[in-house]
Chain A
Amino acid sequence: MRVGLFVTCVNDTLYPRTGRAVVTLLERLGVHVDFPMDQSCCGQPLYNTGYRHHTEPLLLRHAAAFRDHDYIVTPSGSCAAMVRDNYPRIARRAAFEGRGSREVTALAEAAACTASKTYELTEFLVDVLGVTDVGARFPHPVTYHPTCHGLRVLGLRDRPRRLLEHVAGLDLRELGGAEECCGFGGTFAVKNAAVSAAMGADKARAVTATGAHAVCAVDNSCLMHIGGILSRDNSPVRPVHIAEILASTDGNLP
């Protein structure tokens, strides 16, 4: 089984720690991980801002980079959702626009092939590897924020929770209003900064109220937003990607 890590551009640039944690975790579980250097961004920021046509080359690049892999694993619910939900949509739109058949076929094939083998990390662990106890130790109070695209587009349901419940020493705290969006939303965070900040402030307040030392999620972009507010408010709660908790054996808070 050839497993390609799709680290995502946000993690590559800002959160390499998360990418390293995925590698550590998967290698510990006996998975040989590969990182195709040709990968880039899935195109989500462009697509969601209205630049579908600029997204197409990234779709093709992404598919080519992972052409030879059986599984594409990514520590991002929203990038996985982009590939699974929006790539086929982009291909359909190109067909509807009556574009050249070679172009349309290339997009359709690229979309179909990546969509079917892309897994968000917790899905890959639970559904493909069939594990819920990954041998991690993290003796801290932690709360879990289910990010929107993981929750509603991918339908991750209780997979992340089941993994967290098996982490030694971890004290999982219920987050009030867990399923409400944190207010990140990509360019929404700057285009509608006031509403985004208001949503984030409510989320940060709910996080702090749990008494957890860390808030975890399957998306660092949401954690960047929540963490940015927590940090501005001098909150002691740390944003931590779930991969880092699942990779942890020394029990240290990153």
Chain B
Amino acid sequence: MSGTYPGTPFPQAAAVSTGDRTLRANLRHATHTIRAKRARAVAELEDWDRLRAAGAAIKDRTLRHLDHYLVQLEENVTRAGGTVHWAADAAEANRIVTELVQATGETEVVKVKSMATQETGLNAALAQAGIRAYETDLAELIVQLADDLPSHILVPAIHRSRAEIRDIFRDRMADWGRPAPDDLTDRPADLAEAARVHLRDKFLGCTVGVSGANFMIAETGTLVVVESEGNGRMCLTLPDTLISVVGIEKTVPAWKDLEVYLQLLPRSSTAERMNPYTSMWTGTTDEDGPRSFHLVLLDNGRTDTLADHVGRQALRCIRCSACLNVCPVYERAGGHAYGSPYPGPIGAILTPQLRGLASPLEESLPFASSLCGACYDVCPVAIDIPEVLVHLRERVAEGGETTVRGTRTVIKPARKHTAERIAMRATGWALNHPAALLKAQRLAARSRRFHPRRLPGPGRAWTDTRDLPAVPAEPFRDWWTRTHGGTA
């Protein structure tokens, strides 16, 4: 990734992207394709709800004792020949990785798709140090070649159609290595073949690999990467040096726990019984794979998230992206509107927590949902995303206690919400005084002939696209009093 996400608040960004017909069509096609497949893959397992409950509980157990499990993980990785580094924030993680690469004398690295390094902006940091990072996941490759930004957790180039991808390959592959064949078509199989040929040389020649991990097992020190294309296996096994940057919340306590996640993740993510390749490694192995293995444990806002006892459930996330694929808001707004590598419903609760309510963008994200609950339904670790959204809305609207870079602070309500807060207080008062409310209802009923079809000011947001209902001649309670005598 070379660019950075613009800090435009969600409503403004989404107002633009929602009008992009190509984007809308691409997203609709892709998300609807995967939705039905996921439902079928999940329906195959009669114990899905029980696996889901176990998946949530294992993560909760881990989070409640994260210090214990991280220390255990560190011990076991070290014992197996790996080296563990700790990074409190993105800059520190990037510095550690850069120094490790520099120590090898290499100026190129091959990368497995990793959310953690997207989050830290590692590629840009490496580029500053004169190190070129080659993204090897097909979708990440598309994004990198197009100088674009990821818009989906699983399929970062989901916003691109096959025809656009063909054009990107034709125009840009030569800048990064082997050019695309002249007769490249837009058949997905041909595009995959072009990526294979383009990246082959990089895999065979590169001596440093950079990855993330889906799971880290504390009791054994084992790391797990779940993938499809084989680019992960290439990066994890061919180089001499492997550097894995992993969020601290990816820890699970025991080997046995994988039996839950290896059933939940593939079906939720790519809608498969099992993804094509899963690699598991514990430290280093003589004469098989990297001789040197470094694990960089990343905080970068995770401990702040952990400090919020409602919001911490977001750390259960296993990055399957099922919530994106069912989200009606994501489907229309697209991933870039969420302003971070974590788009969709999970992004709307993760970004404001990892970064804090640092700017109008983060403040807008908890409101980027109709609270329809489709995300919670499909979440394989039962993250109650609507609950966390509402909780974060409260933090924006009312302020309150939060943790920023490890320090507990009380934040003030967001400035933009002052007028709303006054209005809500007034509404709350009126609703708690039915007599006053009734007066307002009657006033509205009496003046109904004069109600405009289109409202001025903030009301325009409704009437620009929707008619208002006609106000009735009398509110219900007046009818009741008239006909039933106002009992009770």
Direct touch of chains A and B (CB < 8 A): yes
Chain A interface residues toward B at CB < 8 A: 4, 7, 9, 11-17, 19-20, 23, 34-41, 43, 45-55, 57-58, 61, 89, 93, 96, 148-149, 152-153, 179-181, 183-201, 224-225, 227-229, 231-232
Which B residues are in CB contact (< 8 Å) with A190? 458-459, 461-462
Alpha-carbon separation in the docked complex, A181 to B368 (Å): 14
Cβ A46 vs Cβ B428 within 8 A: yes
From residue B345, how far is it (CB to closest CB) to chain A in Å?
A: 12
- Complex interface: chain A residues within 8 A of B367 (CB): 187-188, 191-192
Residues of A within 8 A of B479 (CB): 16, 19-20
Report the minimal beta-carbon distance from A72 to chain B, rounded to whole angstroms.
13
Main secondary structure of the interface of A (DSSP, over half): helix
The answer to whether B476 and A192 touch across the interface, beta carbons within 8 angstroms, is no
Partner of A193, one of B368, B395, B464: B464
B465 contacts chain A at the CB level, 8 A cutoff: yes
A113 CA / B137 CA spacing, docked (Å):
54
State how many angstroms separate the Cβ of A123 from the closest Cβ of chain B.
Answer: 18
Which chain B positions have C-beta within 8 A of A224? 469
- Give Cα distance in the complex from A200 to B371, angstroms: 15
Chain A residue at smallest Cβ distance from B478: A16
Residues of A within 8 A of B434 (CB): 37-40
Q: How far is the CA of A45 from the CA of B390 in the complex (A)?
A: 11
Measuring CB to CB, which residues of chain B are less than 8 angstroms from any residue of chain A? 10-11, 14-15, 18-19, 24, 309-310, 328-329, 332-333, 366-374, 376-377, 387, 390, 392-398, 420-421, 424-425, 427-428, 431-432, 434, 437, 441, 444, 458-459, 461-462, 464-469, 471-472, 474-477, 479-481, 484, 486-488
Given contacts A12-B476, A16-B475, A195-B18, contact A229 B441 (CB under 8 A): no
Candidates A12, A19, A185, A189; contact of B441 at CB < 8 Å: A12
Verify A51–B428 contact, CB threshold 8 A.
yes
A188 to B368 alpha-carbon distance, docked (Å): 7
Chain B, residue nearest A196 (CB): B370
Q: Please tell me if the beta carbons of A194 and B18 are within 8 angstroms of each other in the complex.
A: yes
- The closest CB in chain B to the CB of A39 belongs to B434
Bound: A38/B431 CA distance, A: 10
Cα–Cα, bound, A201→B461 (Å): 15
C-alpha gap A227/B387 in the complex (Å): 28
Q: Is the CB of A231 within 8 A of B328?
A: no
Are the CB atoms of B488 and A185 closer together than 8 Å? no
Chain A contacts for B424, CB-based, 8 A: 46, 49, 51, 54
Q: Which residue of A lies closest to B484 (CB)?
A: A35
Alpha-carbon distance A234/B349, docked complex (angstroms): 38
- Using A41-B431, A195-B11 as known contacts, list a sample of 16 further A-B pairs with CB atoms less than 8 Å apart, ordered by residue number in A: A12-B475, A13-B441, A19-B479, A35-B480, A48-B390, A48-B393, A49-B397, A54-B424, A54-B425, A187-B367, A192-B10, A194-B11, A194-B18, A195-B332, A225-B466, A228-B468
Residue of B at shortest CB range from A230?
B467
Q: Closest residue of chain B to A53, judged by CB?
A: B398
Find out whether the CB atom of B377 lies under 8 angstroms from the CB atom of A152. Answer: yes
Residue numbers in A under 8 Å from B428 (CB-CB)? 43, 46, 51, 54-55, 57-58
C-alpha gap A48/B374 in the complex (Å): 16
- Bound Cα distance from A189 to B467, whole angstroms: 13
Given that A14-B469, A48-B393, A188-B367 are contacting pairs, would A195 and B329 also be in contact in the complex, using a CB cutoff of 8 Å?
yes
Residues of A within 8 A of B468 (CB): 228
Q: How far is the CB of B480 from chain A (nearest CB, A)?
A: 5
Identity of the chain B residue whose Cβ is nearest the Cβ of A226 in the assembled complex: B466
Chain B residues positioned under 8 Å from A232 (CB to CB): 465-467
- Give Cα A153 to B333, complex, Å: 25
* Chain A: CB-nearest residue to B471: A14
Cβ of A189 to closest chain B Cβ, rounded Å: 6
Determine how close the nearest CB of chain A comes to the CB of B423; give it in whole angstroms.
Answer: 10
A184 neighbours in B (Cβ, 8 Å): 370
Instruction: Report the bound CA distance from A244 to B441 in whole Å.
Output: 22
Is A181 within 8 A of B398, CB to CB?
Answer: no
A17 to B480, CA, bound (A): 11
Which of A55, A58, A199, A228 lies in contact with B370, CB distance below 8 A?
Answer: A199
Q: Chain A residues with Cβ under 8 A from B477's Cβ?
A: 7, 12, 35, 37
21 residue pairs A–B, Cβ–Cβ below 8 Å: A13-B441, A13-B475, A14-B472, A35-B487, A37-B486, A40-B431, A48-B390, A50-B398, A51-B428, A179-B374, A181-B370, A181-B372, A185-B369, A191-B461, A193-B464, A194-B11, A197-B465, A197-B466, A228-B465, A229-B466, A231-B467
